[in-house]
Chains A and B, each alone.
Chain A
Amino acid sequence: MASSLSLRQRFALQRFFRGERYGQETIILNHRRIFILPTKEGLGFLLLLLLLWLTSANYNNNLGYLLTYLLASMAMVSIFHAYRQLTGLQVDPGSIKPVFAGDNALFPLTIKNPSSRRREVITFDHPLTTPSKVTMDPNTVQTVAILLSTQRRGKFKIGTITLVTIYPLGLFRAWTPLNFDLTWWVYPKPSIHSVPLLQSHEDKRPSVDNSDRDFTGFKSYQPGDSLKQIHWKGLAKGQGLHSKQFQYEPETSEDIWLNWQQVPGTDIEARLSQLCRWLLEAEQSGRCYGLTMPSASLAPDQGKKHLHACLRLITTYSHG
């Protein structure tokens, strides 16, 4: 595999920071993927060496020279140690489930340490996450969950996750950039304030105001559930996040048609949020629903697959 790089590719600056592109395959860290440069402390150490050397030269002190060279050599050997911290690790990217904007997406990376060496403090870094540190014992497998924070809807590439270690002396930083060519979806955030679902027919959906309906029980919380529905008392007691369920009036079995044009409001993101909420409600109602967007339209259907297809369609809505 190493031979597949041309000289130009090999020295492309991008390799050092973004890394080569990877798909779903297992990545074994080796010399081609690991880069090492001094840290700030390492540069400070260089200054120390210079000072030590000058002092030794000034006093023509051979023991001083020996100490200087010993420290320089130890720093050099530590480069090799830093490399050994990362080399041989096997990284297996998992798939990343779609989330609504504002939620944290979870990207699982399965790391295998097939060697009999302990791997000290490897930092997993990504622009969207707070770095997590992992120490791996010999011959173990760990799954590192990388929480990616989301702000905007859209279809994203995971991009570069950098594995960094400065062990043992902290003078050199060995890193390996893993540029995952995997996509993940951030759907629009479901709107909190629900507007009654507009129907193409005159048949009116019941008002969403829960107060005048009968309470039937709890179900576990799903994204899109109204905040008013959340069973806050239960949550406070530590029973987990549940929504209160209310009895809907008997529903017609007619198909629902959701149309971008019919969503009220002017702000595009707010309208998309509203549409998202409607989609979730429609899926929950158990009826078939279709979606019409300016770019495409999906025939009425139901089920998880259909819901995700619809959500993806609204996510890709472009401002132009």
Chain B
Amino acid sequence: MASVIIEKVPYRHSIYAKPGTRSGDILHEIHKTRFFLWVLMGVIFPHLFHLPWLHLAVFTWFWGWCWISISHPKRLPSRFVLILLTLVSTAGILIVSRGNLTLETSIGLLIAGLGLKLLELKQRRDFYITVFLAWFVILTQFLFDQSLWMAGYAILFSLLLSMVLILQNGHSVRLKAALNTALWIFLPALPLMVLFFLFFPRLPGPFWSLPLANGHAKTGLSNFMEPGAISQLSQSSEIAFRVEFHGDLPPPSQRYWRTQVFWQFDGRRWSPLPDETNLTADSLPKGEGKPFRYTVTLEPHYQNWLFSLGLPASVPKLAILTPDWTLKSRKTIDERVLYTVTSYSSYQFSPLTIKERELALQLPASPSRKIRSLVAQWQQKNPEDIAQAAMDFFRLNGFVYTLNPPALQQNFIERFLFETRQGFCEHYAAAFVYLMRVAGLPARVVGGYMGGYFNPVGHFIEVYQANAHAWTEIWIPGKGWTRYDPTQVVAPAYLDRTLNMPVPGLTDLLDLHASGHVLNRHIGTPNVWQKFRYEFLNLWSAANHSWHRWVLGFGVQDQQQLWQWLRFWKFIFIWVGTAIFATGVIVWLLLSRIGSKTDPVQQLYQKFLRKLAKQGLSKTTTESPSDFANRARMLCPHQAALIQKITMEYLTLRYGRKSDDKQLRKLISQFK
């Protein structure tokens, strides 16, 4: 029963093999250390996509050195060499980044430090420093990538790092057992983590800032409109923003996400008003008809634009209103932001001012004769008819919507209207506004996004970069600024396309562009695989949106709101909390009572005692089983033999070598 185990050998903390130690010991350690090294490699891996190659090469070099040194400790660098390596690798990293202390450089230095630490894992302390550094490296990856994938990856590697610690502290723990323990640390930690996340106070940053070396590639719209600016975007499946509607969705034909207004035309390029321009800019036009309230989750685009459905009727905190009634953020959108806006289906405008009219009629030069004669055909009509006539001109004269129109350098508008007649939204919007201005109608080009894919799982609209679009607004006396989209006339399927866009498969879309024709998609019934893929993409997209909206978007304000909400429901929470706690305690007590009786032999004996107790015989705590049996035999003479047998059996099972309790079970069941 008793075995003496004394381990007098103090635990080795150095990971490297020492001459003269038992081989079994070394193998065990090597096995652990190799595991540790693989985990570290995994921790570094995602940086492959963000960091210059040298930073990773430095780490990999030290990593490999450590790998070899596990079995050949003589290969370890001396203290002098170690210092030299530190200096050289630091210098190398700084040179590659040309001396700029950017975020990438500092992470590179961190990783190099982690690699160097691998070469002096001598004490327990060194080991812990390495693991802690690895955790810090995991955090730095979130500065580049905050996707769901990355979160899962980080969780997995946190789990593996805690396994490394368990292996270090345990005595020949198997990997599986370590994983088990790690899971039992990890799983109960999850609810705690959520509570921390929701309630732990936060500080609004930043306290310091390190610039990114590459800067952020600006995606999305540009600051001006010229042919080709938007067509590049139509290849992009990147999300621009997501919109959740509080209430009804607007009809598809109204899903124009307005963001830029272009007034000035120089013959080729359309630009917005200079920032200091002061239009009369009285308050927002009054909304009429159906209000739509919606929350936009905007991906960082490193510009100031905010998007609204048509004209905004309210201005969110982070935004200012421009004179041409678009929303602009107060600061550059360099992180995901959320804002809520209300828009109406139509508006009541105050009359156009002289300055506005002047700006909306600006032309780079006097129009050519051809254009003048075209416009002259419509001159007698009222403004709405003129606009309609221009639309009809596009519809009836063989205009083609294509993303690869012939390049036009000189006389862009005229050649487009009368020669090539091939173009995309920018061409049509530009030409339409030009014609309207020549006809004397105030007009402007509007840029933004159109449509968006409605995700049926998450009930929100996803707007992709590919949804970028340009359309026009012309001033109709009595009605105000009215939206006209000449692209729709040329390619009626355009709306359909923008509504169903990238999710079901971007490749289909690209094929359409290549052929230069717009066709209806989904020809024939999709097969099971396509259906499944469609469902999966919807689900994944919805998960991503929730992730962005509720996890990554959770900020100081949400936290305050949560507190207010909790204060409101305080009493209910106190009662429910108390109830849950009390239930938990009771369940725990019951379970622990059951758990304490795990010994089946003891349980059987207790059953026997209960049976005797019914006959008025109870065992005192000080009485030994045999003493009690003697007493019981005298008081129940008719079952004396059985009592003796049971007691003997019990004692053999309890203190002897026997372990099969079948006999005891049988005897006790016989006992009345």
A57 and B185 form a contact (CB under 8 A)? no
B192 and A76 form a contact (CB under 8 A)? yes
What chain B residues lie within 8 Å of A182 (beta carbons)? none
What residue of chain B has the Cβ atom nearest to residue A131's Cβ? B10
B139 within 8 A of partner (CB)? yes
Nearest Cβ distance between residue B308 and chain A, in whole angstroms?
A: 25
B181 and A121 form a contact (CB under 8 A)? no
Nearest Cβ distance between residue B163 and chain A, in whole angstroms?
A: 10
What chain A residues lie within 8 Å of B552 (beta carbons)? 62-63
> Given A63-B154, A67-B142, A144-B6: A168 and B165 within 8 A (CB)?
yes
A134 within 8 A of partner (CB)? yes
A77 and B169 form a contact (CB under 8 A)? no
A58 and B206 form a contact (CB under 8 A)? yes
> Given A64-B139, A66-B151, A71-B158: A41 and B551 within 8 A (CB)?
no
What chain B residues lie within 8 Å of A205 (beta carbons)? none
Nearest Cβ distance between residue A119 and chain B, in whole angstroms?
A: 10
Q: Among A60, A64, A110, point to the contact of B555 (Cβ < 8 A).
A: A60
B169 and A121 form a contact (CB under 8 A)? yes
| Alpha-carbon gap, A41 to B128, bound state (A) | 7
B11 and A74 form a contact (CB under 8 A)? no
Nearest Cβ distance between residue B216 and chain A, in whole angstroms?
A: 14
B181 and A81 form a contact (CB under 8 A)? yes
| Alpha-carbon gap, A309 to B207, bound state (A) | 76
Q: Among B155, B185, B203, point to the contact of A169 (Cβ < 8 A).
A: B185
Stretch of B194-202, B350-358, B390-398, B626-634 at the chain-chain interface: B194-202
A167 and B166 form a contact (CB under 8 A)? yes
A73 and B192 form a contact (CB under 8 A)? yes
B169 and A167 form a contact (CB under 8 A)? yes
B575 within 8 A of partner (CB)? no
What chain A residues lie within 8 Å of B132 (beta carbons)? 44-45, 48
CB contact list, B154-182 vs A, under 8 A: 154-155, 158, 162, 165-166, 168-173, 177, 181-182
What chain B residues lie within 8 Å of A44 (beta carbons)? 128-129, 132
Which among B143, B165, B554 has the greatest number of chain A C-beta atoms within 10 A? B165
Q: Among A62, A72, A74, A110, point to the contact of B162 (Cβ < 8 A).
A: A74
B7 and A166 form a contact (CB under 8 A)? no
B640 within 8 A of partner (CB)? no
A288 within 8 A of partner (CB)? no
Q: Among A60, A81, A133, point to the contact of B11 (Cβ < 8 A).
A: A133
CB contact list, A12-67 vs B, under 8 A: 40-41, 44-45, 48, 51-52, 54-67
CB contact list, A171-196 vs B, under 8 A: none
Q: Among B4, B140, B192, point to the contact of A77 (Cβ < 8 A).
A: B192
Q: Among A52, A116, A143, point to the contact of B135 (Cβ < 8 A).
A: A52
A70 within 8 A of partner (CB)? yes
Nearest Cβ distance between residue A192 and chain B, in whole angstroms?
A: 28
Nearest Cβ distance between residue A37 and chain B, in whole angstroms?
A: 16
B170 and A74 form a contact (CB under 8 A)? no
B151 and A70 form a contact (CB under 8 A)? no
| Alpha-carbon gap, A132 to B7, bound state (A) | 6
| Alpha-carbon gap, A45 to B206, bound state (A) | 23
| Alpha-carbon gap, A65 to B140, bound state (A) | 12
What chain B residues lie within 8 Å of A68 (beta carbons)? 139
What 0/1 pattern do residues 118 to 136 of A give for CB contact below 8 A with B?
Answer: 1011000000001111110
What chain A residues lie within 8 Å of B170 (beta carbons)? 120-121, 135, 167-168
A71 and B146 form a contact (CB under 8 A)? no
CB contact list, B1-58 vs A, under 8 A: 1-8, 10-11
What residue of chain B has the Cβ atom nearest to residue A169's Cβ? B165
B171 and A120 form a contact (CB under 8 A)? yes
Contact residue range for chain A? 35 or more
| Alpha-carbon gap, A166 to B13, bound state (A) | 15
B206 and A59 form a contact (CB under 8 A)? yes
Q: Among A45, A54, A59, A77, point to the contact of B188 (Cβ < 8 A).
A: A77
B202 and A67 form a contact (CB under 8 A)? no
B365 within 8 A of partner (CB)? no
B205 and A57 form a contact (CB under 8 A)? yes
| Alpha-carbon gap, A166 to B207, bound state (A) | 36
A215 within 8 A of partner (CB)? no
What residue of chain B has the Cβ atom nearest to residue A171's Cβ? B165
| Alpha-carbon gap, A166 to B205, bound state (A) | 36
> Given A64-B139, A69-B200: A142 and B2 within 8 A (CB)?
yes
B554 and A144 form a contact (CB under 8 A)? no
B532 within 8 A of partner (CB)? no
> Given A41-B124, A48-B135: A168 and B169 within 8 A (CB)?
yes
Q: Among A40, A64, A141, A169, point to the contact of B169 (Cβ < 8 A).
A: A169
A48 and B136 form a contact (CB under 8 A)? yes
B121 within 8 A of partner (CB)? no
B284 within 8 A of partner (CB)? no
What residue of chain B has the Cβ atom nearest to residue A88's Cβ? B596
B204 within 8 A of partner (CB)? yes
Q: Among A110, A120, A132, point to the contact of B6 (Cβ < 8 A).
A: A132
A235 within 8 A of partner (CB)? no
What chain B residues lie within 8 Å of A69 (beta carbons)? 192-193, 196-197, 200
B189 within 8 A of partner (CB)? yes
B138 within 8 A of partner (CB)? yes
| Alpha-carbon gap, A65 to B166, bound state (A) | 24
What chain B residues lie within 8 Å of A141 (beta carbons)? 1-2
A73 and B189 form a contact (CB under 8 A)? yes
A73 and B166 form a contact (CB under 8 A)? no
| Alpha-carbon gap, A81 to B192, bound state (A) | 15
What chain A residues lie within 8 Å of B168 (beta carbons)? 170
What chain A residues lie within 8 Å of B124 (beta carbons)? 41, 170
Nearest Cβ distance between residue B431 and chain A, in whole angstroms?
A: 45
B136 and A61 form a contact (CB under 8 A)? no
What chain B residues lie within 8 Å of A302 (beta carbons)? none
What residue of chain B has the Cβ atom nearest to residue A166's Cβ? B169
What residue of chain A has the Cβ atom nearest to residue B197's Cβ? A69
A74 and B146 form a contact (CB under 8 A)? no
What 0/1 pattern do residues 139 to 177 of A give for CB contact below 8 A with B?
Answer: 001111101000000000000000000111110000000
A316 within 8 A of partner (CB)? no
What chain B residues lie within 8 Å of A166 (beta carbons)? 169
| Alpha-carbon gap, A134 to B7, bound state (A) | 7
A292 within 8 A of partner (CB)? no
| Alpha-carbon gap, A118 to B178, bound state (A) | 12
Nearest Cβ distance between residue B471 and chain A, in whole angstroms?
A: 36
What chain B residues lie within 8 Å of A64 (beta carbons)? 139, 142-143
What chain A residues lie within 8 Å of B554 (beta carbons)? 62
A70 and B7 form a contact (CB under 8 A)? no
> Given A51-B136, A63-B150: A120 and B189 within 8 A (CB)?
no
> Given A67-B139, A77-B188, A133-B171: A144 and B193 within 8 A (CB)?
no
A65 and B197 form a contact (CB under 8 A)? yes
B138 and A135 form a contact (CB under 8 A)? no
What chain A residues lie within 8 Å of B204 (beta carbons)? 57, 60
B523 within 8 A of partner (CB)? no
Nearest Cβ distance between residue B235 and chain A, in whole angstroms?
A: 29
What chain B residues lie within 8 Å of A67 (beta carbons)? 135, 138-139, 142, 154, 158
A77 and B189 form a contact (CB under 8 A)? yes
What chain B residues lie within 8 Å of A245 (beta carbons)? none
B568 within 8 A of partner (CB)? no
B598 within 8 A of partner (CB)? yes
A78 within 8 A of partner (CB)? yes
What chain A residues lie within 8 Å of B142 (beta carbons)? 59, 61, 63-64, 67
Complex A-B: 17 CB contacts under 8 Å: A58-B205, A58-B206, A59-B205, A60-B205, A63-B142, A69-B196, A70-B155, A71-B135, A72-B192, A72-B196, A73-B188, A77-B184, A77-B192, A118-B177, A120-B170, A120-B173, A169-B169
New A-B pairs, 18, CB < 8 Å, besides A48-B136, A63-B150: A40-B125, A52-B139, A57-B202, A58-B207, A59-B205, A65-B200, A66-B193, A67-B154, A67-B158, A72-B192, A120-B170, A120-B173, A130-B8, A141-B1, A167-B170, A168-B165, A168-B181, A169-B162
Which residues on A are within 8 Å of B, measured CB to CB? 40-41, 44-45, 48, 51-52, 54-74, 76-78, 80-81, 110, 116, 118, 120-121, 130-135, 141-145, 147, 166-170
